[in-house]
């Protein structure tokens, strides 16, 4: 039982490689920038439990106070810092982590309670609104920070107070007399508790996570035999027509996936980050109990259904999820407009990070390249787009098309600042996503999910096994592998993911009996003993792909390997309508043009890719028109750049991923 | 200054003709059926002011009590009954009208107040919630009922108490000290007061309507210098997060077109019925003051903008308006899905009736065939579809496509029963929509907006002028005209609308110097003196039309003349997916097939109109796919019937107007 937040330590990204450079930016720039933001906004000092003037601000998203997430912002930063400190020591970051830990320790109440808002602003109201407030979410991030801290500092300075805090939860929540039969409005603590259980081995940590998961959505919960959120709302004296701003109607508990028990849910609904964090925990629970256990057979069918519903009917080409701004989440099946001027596109950065988490956990249960395809897609597109090249500007919402109201642009921070430090910590333990392994005695199985220049180093009994990849991925699909063992020989078996987008691929030296299972090429111990060096080639060609026609999106996207492309106004000075009327010619030749500025990448030029502009003059003053030709012809080139590179080079903030083909 | 509710008396529909038959069904069946419904549901006796058990029911759409509209349901039925009694006396209907009028008289309070809910259920709370409650809306319908009653019975039995009620409003509302500077959440009383003013000539009636219109949306209204709805909400002690169910967010006053003054509104927003009733009144106000007056120049630009925004960007092919169920109204520009499974389609019957009202009023200000085109479109499609052929079943929502969740089906009544009696009264005074006229001394100008077999009879000085049309419209575009004068000769000028859908047309005998202005063919007195009989021919051919490409609807519709067609499962036993995957071949030949069952109409067969079924198998388990051919081929005929005839012949309730073309 392992997690990428731990397994990543085995991975070393080759200096100068794609991800080494990104992580270096985060280490040298982002951590400092975010530390500055934490300090300027009051978050850094908040655990000192003094009053901050912003505590008086009315909530932007009623009823959640704007500072409600501060605990988690700090916790995620600490978590990310600890991961990155392992790369190289940084005294400024180290000092800040240590100071924050001391402030957190100092903020803990005698009974273990540890939350800024309910200690400073509303003392006495703790645990009265699990539905809307983020006490347990914050606690989950504190647990994850403590685990990262423990991993790097190898002491209990943070873990120890957090364990005391968790003990308070163990006492408070459950189905026993005197306990609250509640569960968090925003899942996170579940997955954190399960990770904690791995370290402590303490059954109470597993049990509490399992309670939160099993009880969620119980319509006859607690001794009141009613939904818990109703019970606590009445206890608060809440008027039944008093709605949280993100609720479309009273008691829309599908917003937080609590409208029915998880095992009975058939479609993915509500807030997308909550959904991903929750299902990640559910997958972990299934893994802990084994998929064939009672818990496993209870939840696994729901996991499959919800995942499929999400991928087939509620995901964007970038891997982004969530069309609806109001509840930051999923719309109805196939409702996937590209921008707010067409009905919405949210695709929050944190949600895509959640998809990566869930995909990675599912891969550990079922080695199927489909999950890794989605994980890779999110990583290079919906997640990576969330941070600028200089590491100091971020996006929260990742639309596929800009509009006058919502330009394609970045911000240095957010009032609700969940995304920036989430990218930081994700980049921090990124190595954990590339491969998983199983070791038993003198043998090892390594599943390679994604490719980059990096080395995995594993201790196998008294030997050290290394698997090294060398590649210019995601720009070139050739990957040179080398395996080595120091010490007694190790029986290594490798499984290499064949990407779903690869229309052809090759392994050199040639393998005579190909064994491919669920999209993974199995390389046997015997073959690897003969071939310690080999090459996997997955040629990358630019291509046009289309969304499901049921999305009613008459568009095509340009992709190449795992990269999704977009067009920006800066490369098309003639454009001022966000490419909304630009008609793409699917017969255009897609030419690759390697670039070195603002970073190395492969640009794509669609030669004469513009067939013309959509002409809607026939509809002036009309509802309908008899029209056969809606295009005013004018051939022009289209210059595509990777979506994740958008909003890095100036311009007017006009951008589009999918261009009309008719 | 005339209204169709008065001018209709000059029109006699030729027995056996299209509209004569429809009106006969309403007279003989619908009035009785609805009377039965009024009695069974408690509405009929409600003005007796006794408690009804349903008054205890919690509101289906908080905070509006379900019985809130009962006054208006009764009023609209009385109004319709009075119009139809003019066709032929009916003792049962007459007796019911008289009894209702006595009950209404008896329900009036000493100070003139006259409302069921606030007399029986919440006495003492009158005028405390203009925003959500329907006191003034109900009063508006009572005024309209009184005007119809007065027209038919030629006594003041109903008008007299209503005038007393209006006097109470005159005292209560206004900008003087001690008055409420409020305006109704649901417009209706404004247009009713302006109609009343025509009859009474009393300036106070004009002044009150003008106050409601001018004050609406005033952000610095009343002595509080704040929006009135905020002021009254606070006076009620309303929590600012307590939301009416139809509100997407607190204080979404655009829901009732009160987010800013009407003259400053640039796009049509919110509840579609409210918007149409309001703009109808605004148009009347402009007409009363003359378009060139200060009031005219203030409001006319807004009327133009709002109308254009509605027609070009927020109307369905049927003339129906409103995509969003939550607020029964307009979505963002070009968001016009066909059914709830694609994001919504509301197109309430009452809203289409409102479009007819507004179009008719605009025609009286500006004779432009564009308005009449939309009026005719609504009449034959979005309105007529609201009632079954037998006159006893109705629709409230008029989707363009069914789905498993929302079948295409009719109901005998609704909890909120605004639509059924609205169709009744509209059919009652329908003649008023066909033509408008101006008479001065011995001359007359008649504008013919729509065609049917009917005679318009006008008193011109001491002469009687008749204009007769004979046609099989909407199935045949040939219209025979005959004009006659009894008594001294009258200088008649005719203006005939040339329908926007007519790709060609002809007048016989031939006119040498055609004068066409804004889509109306002018026939001079001289020509008419030489040609008392003539024929207008507007050939009707079935054709495919398309929505604006910015709607992202890759579909085509079949229309013929003013009629919009649909397909139903009963004619296509092979269909069970609501025609969602049926691919239409735009090269198919459209063949006309006159039918006599269940009524006379022209069916359209698209020979081999089915090109195949949409094949989305390439997207199974995928977000995107490289796909060039998404159609599994299989040629079949498609049988189109007029949309208004849907849900009259049984079947599974599967129906679609726009079929995919790709």
Q: Tell me the pLDDT tens digit for each residue of B433-492.
A: 999 999 999 999 999 999 999 999 999 999 999 999 999 999 999 999 999 999 999 999
Residues 246-265 on A with a CB inside 8 Å of B are: 248-250
Q: Is A614 helix (H, G, I), strand (E, B) or coil?
A: strand
Cβ of residue A59 closer than 8 Å to a chain B Cβ:
no
Q: Do B341 and A333 count as a contact with CB atoms less than 8 A apart?
A: yes
> Residues for chain B: how many in total?
662
Q: From CA A166, how far away is CA A156, in angstroms rounded?
A: 14
Same structural domain, A379 and A451: no
Same structural domain, B557 and B531: no
Helices A31-41 and A91-107, packing angle to 10 deg:
40
Nearest to B238 by CA among A242, A262, A123, A58: A242
Residue B446 Cα distances to A253, A484, B436, B437, B464, angstroms = 60, 97, 6, 4, 14
Three-class DSSP labels, B174-225: CCCCCCECCCCCCCCHHHHHHHHHHHHCCHHHHHHHHHHHHHCCCCCCCCCC
Phi first, then psi, for residue A201 (nearest 5°) are 65, 10
- What's the pLDDT at A635? 85
Q: Do B242 and A245 count as a contact with CB atoms less than 8 A apart?
A: no
Q: Is B408 helix (H, G, I), strand (E, B) or coil?
A: coil
Q: From CA B328, how far away is CA B605, in angstroms rounded?
A: 34
- How do residues B600-615 score in pLDDT, each as one tens digit? 999 999 999 999 999 9
Residues A647 and A395: beta-carbon distance below 8 Å? yes
- Bridge partners (DSSP) of residue A633 are A612
Residues 230-249 on B with a CB inside 8 Å of A are: 239, 241-243, 245, 248-249
Same structural domain, B445 and B363: no
Cβ of residue A626 closer than 8 Å to a chain B Cβ:
yes
Given a cut of 70, the residues of chain A with pLDDT beneath it are: 1, 628-630
Residue of chain A whose Cα is closest to the Cα of B310 = A623
> CB under 8 Å to A283, separation ≥6 — which residues?
A303, A358, A361, A362, A364, A365
From the candidates A377, A624, A662, which should be mutated to test the interface with B, based on the most B CB atoms within 10 A?
A624
DSSP string of A538-599, one letter each residue: ----EEEEEE-GGG---EEEEEETTEEEEEEGGG-TT--STTSSEEE-TTSEEEEEEE-SSS
CB atoms within 10 A of CB B334: 20
Query: How does A472-485 read in b/e, with b if 16+ C-beta sit within 10 Å?
Result: bbbbbbbbebebbb
Residues B550 and B533: beta-carbon distance below 8 Å? no
> Mean pLDDT per segment of 10 residues, for chain B of length 662 residues?
93 98 98 98 98 97 96 98 97 98 98 98 97 98 98 98 98 96 98 98 98 98 94 94 92 97 98 98 98 98 98 98 97 98 97 98 98 98 98 98 98 96 98 97 97 98 97 98 97 98 96 94 97 98 97 97 98 96 96 96 97 93 84 87 97 98 88
Which helix (H) or strand (E) element contains residue A116? helix A116-120
Cβ of residue B202 closer than 8 Å to a chain A Cβ:
no
Cβ of residue B59 closer than 8 Å to a chain A Cβ:
no
Q: Do B614 and A550 count as a contact with CB atoms less than 8 A apart?
A: yes
Cβ of residue A514 closer than 8 Å to a chain B Cβ:
no
User: What is the largest distance, in Å, between two alpha-carbon atoms of chain A?
Assistant: 81
Nearest-by-Cβ selection for A554 from B249, B332, B552: B552
Taking contacts as CB-CB distances below 8 angstroms, the residues of chain B near A500 are 622
Q: Do A546 and B624 count as a contact with CB atoms less than 8 A apart?
A: yes
Cβ of residue A222 closer than 8 Å to a chain B Cβ:
no
Nearest to A205 by CA among A286, A263, A128, A143: A143
Q: From CA B152, how far away is CA B85, in angstroms rounded?
A: 8
Phi first, then psi, for residue A94 (nearest 5°) are -60, -45
- Bridge partners (DSSP) of residue B431 are none
For B659, the token pair is 């079929």
Residues B205 and B147: beta-carbon distance below 8 Å? no
Total number of domains constituting chain A: 3
Q: From CA B29, how far away is CA A548, in angstroms rounded?
A: 48
Nearest to B435 by CA among B477, B467, B479, B471: B467
Same structural domain, A46 and A62: yes
How many CA atoms lie within 13 Å of B9's alpha carbon, on the beta-carbon side?
Answer: 12
Q: How far is A159 from chain B (nearest CA, A)?
A: 40
Q: From CA B257, how far away is CA B278, in angstroms rounded?
A: 8
- Vertex A449: Cα angle to A443 and A453 (nearest 5): 90
Q: From CA B444, how far away is CA B531, in angstroms rounded?
A: 16
CATH number of domain containing B520:
2.60.420
Strand duo B555-560 + B542-547: pairing: antiparallel
Same structural domain, A392 and A257: yes
Q: Do A619 and B548 count as a contact with CB atoms less than 8 A apart?
A: yes
Q: Is A271 helix (H, G, I), strand (E, B) or coil?
A: strand
Strand duo B491-497 + B443-448: pairing: parallel
Same structural domain, B21 and B129: yes
Same structural domain, A457 and A601: no
Angular region, A239: left φ>0, alpha ψ -120 to 50, beta rest: beta
Residue where a domain stops, chosen among A472, A507, A537: A537
Residue A246 Cα distances to A61, A271, B249, B411, angstroms = 7, 9, 9, 34
> CB under 8 Å to A410, separation ≥6 — which residues?
A388, A393, A394, A395, A647
Nearest-by-Cβ selection for A317 from B331, B546, B623: B623
Taking contacts as CB-CB distances below 8 angstroms, the residues of chain B near A660 are 549
Residue of chain A whose Cα is closest to the Cα of B371 = A621
Q: Do A332 and B311 count as a contact with CB atoms less than 8 A apart?
A: no
Q: How far is A526 from chain B (nearest CA, A)?
A: 34
Phi first, then psi, for residue A151 (nearest 5°) are -65, -40
Nearest-by-Cβ selection for A343 from B335, B549, B553: B335
Residue A440 Cα distances to A289, A445, A524, angstroms = 20, 9, 16
For A287, the token pair is 């893994």
Residue where a domain stops, chosen among B415, B432, B449: B432
Cβ of residue B617 closer than 8 Å to a chain A Cβ:
no
Q: Do A621 and B559 count as a contact with CB atoms less than 8 A apart?
A: no
Residue of chain B whose Cα is closest to the Cα of A557 = B624
Residue A17 Cα distances to A540, A599, B210, angstroms = 18, 12, 72
Cβ of residue B616 closer than 8 Å to a chain A Cβ:
yes
Phi first, then psi, for residue A638 (nearest 5°) are -120, 135
Q: What is the CA radius of gyration of chain B?
A: 25
Strand duo B463-471 + B454-460: pairing: antiparallel
Residues A359 and A434: beta-carbon distance below 8 Å? no
Q: Do B621 and A343 count as a contact with CB atoms less than 8 A apart?
A: no
Q: From CA B347, how far away is CA B276, in angstroms rounded?
A: 13
Same structural domain, A50 and A148: yes
Same structural domain, A14 and A141: yes
Nearest-by-Cβ selection for A623 from B317, B343, B662: B317
Nearest to A560 by CA among A638, A661, A637, A474: A474
CATH number of domain containing B196:
1.50.10
Same structural domain, A483 and A573: no
Taking contacts as CB-CB distances below 8 angstroms, the residues of chain B near A624 are 317, 545-548, 557, 559
Residue where a domain stops, chosen among B379, B406, B432: B432
Nearest-by-Cβ selection for B625 from A546, A554, A614: A546
Same structural domain, B159 and B278: yes
Q: Do A550 and B616 count as a contact with CB atoms less than 8 A apart?
A: yes
- How do residues B128-175 score in pLDDT, each as one tens digit? 999 999 999 999 999 999 999 999 999 999 999 999 999 999 999 999
Q: From CA A563, how far away is CA A565, in angstroms rounded?
A: 6
Could you give the strand order of the β-sheet that contains A491-497, starting from the edge strand earlier in sequence? Answer: A435-440, A443-448, A491-497, A520-523, A516-517
Residues 628-647 on A with a CB inside 8 Å of B are: 630
Q: Do A616 and B317 count as a contact with CB atoms less than 8 A apart?
A: no
Q: Do B554 and A619 count as a contact with CB atoms less than 8 A apart?
A: no
Could you give the strand order of the β-sheet that contains A11-13, starting from the edge strand earlier in sequence? Answer: A11-13, A454-460, A463-471, A478-486, A533-537, A506-508
Q: From CA A379, how far away is CA B95, in angstroms rounded?
A: 75
Q: Do A241 and B63 count as a contact with CB atoms less than 8 A apart?
A: yes
Range(s) of the domain holding residue B214: 4-432
Residue of chain B whose Cα is closest to the Cα of A542 = B626
Residues 518-547 on B with a CB inside 8 Å of A are: 543-547
User: What are the start-end ranges of the E strands in A362-462?
Assistant: 435-440, 443-448, 454-460
Q: Do A623 and B377 count as a contact with CB atoms less than 8 A apart?
A: yes
- What's the pLDDT at A627? 79
Residues 545-574 on A with a CB inside 8 Å of B are: 545-550, 552-554, 557, 559
Taking contacts as CB-CB distances below 8 angstroms, the residues of chain A near B332 are 341-343
Peptide bond into A193 cis (omega under 30): no
From the candidates A316, A623, A631, A643, which should be mutated to test the interface with B, based on the most B CB atoms within 10 A?
A623
Angular region, A135: left φ>0, alpha ψ -120 to 50, beta rest: alpha
Q: How far is A560 from chain B (nearest CA, A)?
A: 12
- What's the pLDDT at B512? 87
CB atoms within 10 A of CB B259: 18
Q: Is A660 helix (H, G, I), strand (E, B) or coil?
A: strand
CB atoms within 10 A of CB B462: 10
Nearest-by-Cβ selection for B241 from A242, A312, A374: A242
Tell me A661's DSSP state: -
CB atoms within 10 A of CB B223: 9
Residues 354-413 on A with a CB inside 8 Å of B are: 370, 374, 377
Determine the straight-line distance between the first and last CA of chain A, rounded to whole angstroms: 50
Q: Do B343 and A326 count as a contact with CB atoms less than 8 A apart?
A: no
Q: Do B241 and A616 count as a contact with CB atoms less than 8 A apart?
A: no
Q: Do A614 and B549 count as a contact with CB atoms less than 8 A apart?
A: yes
Determine the straight-line distance between the first and last CA of chain B, rounded to whole angstroms: 50
Phi first, then psi, for residue A233 (nearest 5°) are -65, -40
Sign of the torsion formed by the C-alpha atoms of B276, B279, B281 and B286 = negative
Cβ of residue A308 closer than 8 Å to a chain B Cβ:
yes
Same structural domain, B323 and B460: no
């Amino acid at each position: 039982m392992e997690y990428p937040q731990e397994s990543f330590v085995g991975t070393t990204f080759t200096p100068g490689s794609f991800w080494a450079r990104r992580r270096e930016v985060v280490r040298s720039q982002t951590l400092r920038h975010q530390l500055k933001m934490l300090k300027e906004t009051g978050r850094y000092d908040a655990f000192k439990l003094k009053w901050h003037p912003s505590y008086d601000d009315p909530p932007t998203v009623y009823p959640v106070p704007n500072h409600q997430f501060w605990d988690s912002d700090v916790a995620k930063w600490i978590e990310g810092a600890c991961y990155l400190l392992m790369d190289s020591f940084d005294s400024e970051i180290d000092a800040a982590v240590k100071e924050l830990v001391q402030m957190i320790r100092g903020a803990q109440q005698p009974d273990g309670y540890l939350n800024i808002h309910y200690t400073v602003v509303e003392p006495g109201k703790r645990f009265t609104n699990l539905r809307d407030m983020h006490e347990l979410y914050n606690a989950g991030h504190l647990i994850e920070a403590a685990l990262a801290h423990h991993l790097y500092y190898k002491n209990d300075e943070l873990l120890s107070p957090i364990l005391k805090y968790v003990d308070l939860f163990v006492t408070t929540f459950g189905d026993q007399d005197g306990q609250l039969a509640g569960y968090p409005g925003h899942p996170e603590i579940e997955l954190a508790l399960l990770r904690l259980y791995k370290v402590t081995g303490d059954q109470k940590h597993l049990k509490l996570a399992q309670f939160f998961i099993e009880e969620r959505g119980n319509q006859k919960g607690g001794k009141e035999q009613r939904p818990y959120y109703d019970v606590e709302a009445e206890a608060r004296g809440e008027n039944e027509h008093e709605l949280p701003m993100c609720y479309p109607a009273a008691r829309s508990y599908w917003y937080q996936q609590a409208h029915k028990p998880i095992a009975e849910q058939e479609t993915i609904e509500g807030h997308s980050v909550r959904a991903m964090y929750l299902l990640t925990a559910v997958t972990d629970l299934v893994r802990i109990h084994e998929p064939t256990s009672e818990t496993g057979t209870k939840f696994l069918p729901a996991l499959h259904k919800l995942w499929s519903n999400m991928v087939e009917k509620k995901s964007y080409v970038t891997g982004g999820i969530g069309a609806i701004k109001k509840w930051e989440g999923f719309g109805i099946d196939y409702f996937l407009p590209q921008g707010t001027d067409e009905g919405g596109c949210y695709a929050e950065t944190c949600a895509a990070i959640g998809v990566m988490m869930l995909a990675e956990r599912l891969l550990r249960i079922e080695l199927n390249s489909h999950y890794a395809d989605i994980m890779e897609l999110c990583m290079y597109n919906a997640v990576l787009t969330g941070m600028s090249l200089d590491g100091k500007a971020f996006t929260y919402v990742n639309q596929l098309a800009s509009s006058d109201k919502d330009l394609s642009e970045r911000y240095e921070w957010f009032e609700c600042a969940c995304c920036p430090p989430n990218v930081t910590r994700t980049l921090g333990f990124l190595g954990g996503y590339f491969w998983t392994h199983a070791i038993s005695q003198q043998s090892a199985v390594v599943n390679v999910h994604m490719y980059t220049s990096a080395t995995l180093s594993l201790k196998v009994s008294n030997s050290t096994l290394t698997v090294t990849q060398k590649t210019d991925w995601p720009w070139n699909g050739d990957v040179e592998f080398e395996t080595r063992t120091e010490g007694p020989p190790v029986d290594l078996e490798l499984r290499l993911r064949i990407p779903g987008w690869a229309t052809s691929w090759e392994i050199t030296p040639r393998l005579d009996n190909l064994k491919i299972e669920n999209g993974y090429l199995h390389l046997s111990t015997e073959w690897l003993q003969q071939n310690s060096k080999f090459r996997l080639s997955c040629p990358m060609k630019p291509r046009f792909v289309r969304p499901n026609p049921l999305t009613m999106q008459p568009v095509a996207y340009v992709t190449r390997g795992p990269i999704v492309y977009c067009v920006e106004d800066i490369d098309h000075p003639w454009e001022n309508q966000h490419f909304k009327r630009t008609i793409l010619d699917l017969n255009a030749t897609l030419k690759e043009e390697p670039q070195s500025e603002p970073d190395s990448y492969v640009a794509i030029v669609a030669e004469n890719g513009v067939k013309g502009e959509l002409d809607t003059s026939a509809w002036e003053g009309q509802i309908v028109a008899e029209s056969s030709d809606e295009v005013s012809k004018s051939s022009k080139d289209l210059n595509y750049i990777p979506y994740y590179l958008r909003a890095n080079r100036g311009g007017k903030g006009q951008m589009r991923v999918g261009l009309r083909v008719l």
